[in-house]
Amino acid sequence: MTRRSLLQTLGAAAAGGAVPQVSGQRRRRPYDIVIKNGEVRDPSRGLKARADVAVHDGKIAEVASEIPAERGREVIDAKGLYVTPGLVDLHTHIVYGVRSGIEADPIAARSGTSTWIDAGTFAYDQIEGFRRFIVDRNQCRVFGFVYLYPASRNPDIDPLKYVSGLMDATGRAASANRDIVLGVKFQVGSNMNGRYSHDFLKIARRLCDEYDLRLLVHISTAPPETEEVMKLLKPGDVVTHCFNEHTLGIVDRDTGKLKPSVKEARLRGVLFDVGHGSGSFNFESARRALDQGFLPDSISSDIYSANMNGPVFDLPTTMSKLLYLGMTFDDVLKCSTVNPARVVTPLPKLGTLQVGAPGDVALLSVEDGAFELIDAQRNKVTAKQRIVSHLTICKGKRLVAPV
């Protein structure tokens, strides 16, 4: 491709966003990092081109057909690699030491995952600790959903009164920490909450309405039924574990068809997230939904200590499973960058490579070969491709796995 046609490609692809420029002489100060010779993929604006990317002062500083190597204090050769926005994992458990929380940074460094969203490992009275020991101490970006769980097992306490009693404290704490708390996580399903699950969900609904918070719901085992859950969800709310094989799922187990209430929920703006985890991603369930044109809005790992050594491993492995099932690399990337970034309301432009966006970049490749992939029910498949991370840049710096 000639330089001129590449520029046209860049300009056309960037319609609606910042138009990439050829690096000119206007700016003499060196950039912190220049990434050269990579294939840039930025699904936020449909940008697909060979281009160079500069990162400076923790932000994306320039995307252009050529940025001279001498402009970078550090120069990274990305020949043969995709240069993408840093990956955003919408469902993780990274409150180390609390339940099955893991340390984020070591996996962030090797997985291209620069943003980690904890999906309800902490309660309202643990937000301060979450900020101080998890958000502030990690090199990667960390946000979270606070949980509203009926944690009391005291038979003398009315569970509904107990959970209602947590409502205001949870709402107030989440509101006071909107820079890191993205909403409320609630687990729906009889395996978690017994016969009160639907009532608890209504309390979570009321909480989110009163305090203007996003609701993230885990679906697992009925009751309640999918229809009852969908009815309580509003635009911007997120359903996680959408490709589970349990009774509280998005596909009718008898007919194999998507449930009408799920289609309606998507139409009104409810988001559907993968949330792989130890029990919630099944190849057949995913295939049935994908065959009906139902792609997830976001791909997330639901990584925690019990699955980090398999079957989850990390976000690129989960992405590889969706690639195996027929999603395109670009769609998979969209579901792991700009789409999940939309729930990170405190940080606009996250999940993109637009100039001025947070300086988060992943260097990825799609390897060919024969790779075993395992779902949550331990079904094995052999994939011909897998997504591999080569480098994570977060807040303008390379992430290096702590020794």
Q: Applying CB under 5 A, which residues contact Zn ion?
A: 119, 302
Residue number with the shortest CB distance to Zn ion? 302
Answer whether the bond into residue 358 is a cis peptide, omega within 30°.
no
Q: CB-based contacts of 144: which residues, under 8 Å, 6+ apart?
A: 95, 117, 118, 119, 120, 121, 122, 130, 134, 135, 180, 181, 182
Least Å from the CB of residue 89 to Zn ion: 11
Q: Cβ 257 to Zn ion, closest distance in Å?
A: 27
Task: Kindly tell me which of 119 and 201 has the beta carbon lying closer to Zn ion.
Answer: 119
Given the complex with Zn ion, which of 273 and 302 has the nearer CB atom?
Answer: 302
Report in angstroms how near the CB of residue 300 gets to Zn ion at its nearest: 9
Residue 246 or 390: the one with the smaller Cβ distance to Zn ion is 246
Q: CB 193 → Zn ion: shortest distance, Å?
A: 15
Residue with tokens 């960037």: 14
| Rounded Cα distance, 328 and 53, in Å | 24
Q: 182 near 144, Cβ under 8 Å?
A: yes
Shortest Å, Cβ 185 to Zn ion? 8
Q: How far apart are CA 317 and CA 295, in angstroms?
A: 17
* Identity of the residue, 120 or 159, whose beta carbon is nearer to Zn ion in the bound complex: 120
Residue type for 63, please?
V
Residue 52: helix, strand or coil by DSSP? strand
Q: Is the dihedral of CA 201, 207, 210, 212 positive or negative?
A: negative
DSSP class of 19:
P
Q: By C-beta, is 32 or 89 nearer to Zn ion?
A: 89
With contact defined as beta carbons under 8 Å apart, do 14 and 47 qualify?
yes
Which of 62/302 has CB closer to Zn ion? 302
In 3D space, the residue among 314, 321, 319 whose CA is nearest the CA of residue 332 turns out to be: 319
Q: To the nearest whole angstrom, how small is the minimum distance from the Cβ of residue 275 to Zn ion?
A: 6
Q: Tell the smallest beta-carbon distance from residue 219 to Zn ion (Å).
A: 11
Nearer to Zn ion, 121 or 354 (CB): 121
The token pair that represents 301 in the structure block: 């790992």
